């Protein structure tokens, strides 16, 4: 079976999800050939910059405007019509890649690419099954397109929403969860991993996934947390944000392990008692797999606020307000709350979503022959 996965560079989650699936497919069923392609880049430099650059600009500079556009496009509206029209006009740009690779099944990890593929399917330009994978915890109208065969979603609740809000039959919607790397699901010897990371066995560990925060925001949260908590150690990961790393390096406490980009995030999650993060779909999915309670700060309107609402309502996370240090100190002090949040992560965890996705793709490819 030949599997073509389309992704995009609007944030890192879409690409990381695609890479996690490919890694699992290659390891579990190496007889299948898997290719990942950035579908938005195939549309040309202008459209790629407009979509990916515009997304980043709106989210960071004018989040309220992004939220308004996000809500407006989640229904039949002029904004949605413009969005769909632009995407459909670019669908033909995907055809050379599809025709060259000759996939048996296609997976889309981005709403705009889903629209393109759905239009190609309805026009008879492609005939293979197409699956839309939604990498957040709430559906959105831009993911819904005529011609899409199946949808894979993050939670059982989303199945009902697809039926009631979008009219998609439940038999076509699969609550497998968002695929993550297998290593987030593995059982580990915590003490052994703590030794590897230079962490104490005797202290609660608070993990900051800091790279996507504003510099001032995350520094303020960190300083407030350090000053209000006792018996804790901290792991701070700034990603590729060198400016943020340097700021932390100048103020970090002696109980802080500070890193830039790491390729073993799962180790830090397995050793943490609490993660402070923004609610991106993939980061929270990885946290859920590790049964790691989440403290969420500054969810921008749109996908992040929807993700945060789901997680808080599920009891797996809590929002940080104006006094983050006090809130975190209270969580650490009353460990029963942390345990309850961890148990709720296990309750909503969807298991091995990559295997379930592989089973679905094999079934669809078999039916298509």
| pLDDT, tens digit, 9 for 90 and up, residues 271-300 | 999 999 988 888 999 999 999 999 998 788
Q: What does DSSP assign to residue 300?
A: P
Three-state DSSP state, 335 = helix
Specify the pLDDT at position 14. Answer: 87
Q: What is the mean pLDDT of the chain?
A: 90
Q: Which residues of 264-278 are buried (b: 16+ CB within 10 A; e: fewer)?
A: ebbbbbbbbbbbbbb
Show Cβ contacts of residue 140 under 8 Å, excluding neighbours closer than 6 positions: 70, 73, 74, 111, 134, 303
Query: Of 16-20, 67-71, 231-235, 261-265, which gets the smallest average pLDDT?
Result: 67-71
Q: Are 40 and 110 in contact (CB under 8 A)?
A: yes
Three-state DSSP state, 191 = helix
Q: Which residues of 61-75 are buried (b: 16+ CB within 10 A; e: fewer)?
A: eebeebbebbeebbe
Question: Using CA atoms, how far apart are residues 311 and 248, in angstroms rounded to an integer?
Answer: 28
Specify the pLDDT at position 287. Answer: 96
Task: Report pLDDT digits (tens) over 105-126.
Answer: 999 999 899 999 999 999 999 9
Maximum alpha-carbon separation in the chain:
63
Q: Are 139 and 113 in contact (CB under 8 A)?
A: no
Assessment of whether the complete model's pTM goes beyond 0.85: yes
> What is the average pLDDT across 45-69?
76
Map out the domains of the chain with their CATH numbers. Answer: 2-182+351-368 (3.40.50), 186-348 (3.40.50.2000)
User: pLDDT confidence of 52, banded at 50, 70, 90?
Assistant: confident
Closest CA to 349 of 303, 285, 270: 285
Query: Of 37-41, 73-77, 170-174, 285-289, which gets the smallest average pLDDT?
Result: 73-77
Specify the pLDDT at position 211. Answer: 67
Specify the pLDDT at position 48. Answer: 80
- Cβ–Cβ contacts within 10 Å for residue 55, how many? 15
Question: Using CA atoms, how far apart are residues 356 and 369, in angstroms rounded to an integer?
Answer: 20
Specify the pLDDT at position 216. Answer: 67
Q: What does DSSP assign to residue 69?
A: H
């Amino acid at each position: 079976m030949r599997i073509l996965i389309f992704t995009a560079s609007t944030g890192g989650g879409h690409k990381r999800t695609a890479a996690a699936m490919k890694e699992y497919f290659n390891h579990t069923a190496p007889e299948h050939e898997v290719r990942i392609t950035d579908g938005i880049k195939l549309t040309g430099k202008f459209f790629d910059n407009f979509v990916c650059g515009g997304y980043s600009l709106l989210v960071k500079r004018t989040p309220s405007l992004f939220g308004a556009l996000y809500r407006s496009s989640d229904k039949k509206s002029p904004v949605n019509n413009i969005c769909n029209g632009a995407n459909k006009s670019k669908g033909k740009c995907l055809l050379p890649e599809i025709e060259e690779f000759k996939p048996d099944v296609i997976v889309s990890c981005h709403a705009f690419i889903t629209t393109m593929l759905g239009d190609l399917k309805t026009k008879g330009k492609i005939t293979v099954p197409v699956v839309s994978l939604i990498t957040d915890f709430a559906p959105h109208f831009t993911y819904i397109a005529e011609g899409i065969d199946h949808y894979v979603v993050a939670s059982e609740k989303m199945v009902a929403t697809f039926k009631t809000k979008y009219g998609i039959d439940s038999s076509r919607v699969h609550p497998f969860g968002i695929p993550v790397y297998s290593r987030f699901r593995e059982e580990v010897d915590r003490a052994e991993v703590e030794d590897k990371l230079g962490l104490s066995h005797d202290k609660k560990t608070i993990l900051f996934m800091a790279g996507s925060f504003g510099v001032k925001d995350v520094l303020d949260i960190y300083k407030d947390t350090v000053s209000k908590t006792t018996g804790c150690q901290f792991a701070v990961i700034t990603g590729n944000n060198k400016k943020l790393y340097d700021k932390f390096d100048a103020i970090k406490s002696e109980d802080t392990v500070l890193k830039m980009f790491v390729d073993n995030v799962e180790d830090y999650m397995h050793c943490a008692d609490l993660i402070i993060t923004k609610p991106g779909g993939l980061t929270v999915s990885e946290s859920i797999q590790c049964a790691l309670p989440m403290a969420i700060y500054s969810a921008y309107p749109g996908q992040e606020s929807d993700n945060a609402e789901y997680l808080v309502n599920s009891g797996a996370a809590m929002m940080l307000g104006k006094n983050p240090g006090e809130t975190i100190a209270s969580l650490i002090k009353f460990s029963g709350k942390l345990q309850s949040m961890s148990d709720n992560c296990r309750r909503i965890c969807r298991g091995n979503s990559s295997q379930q996705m592989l089973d679905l793709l094999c079934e669809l490819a078999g039916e298509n022959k």
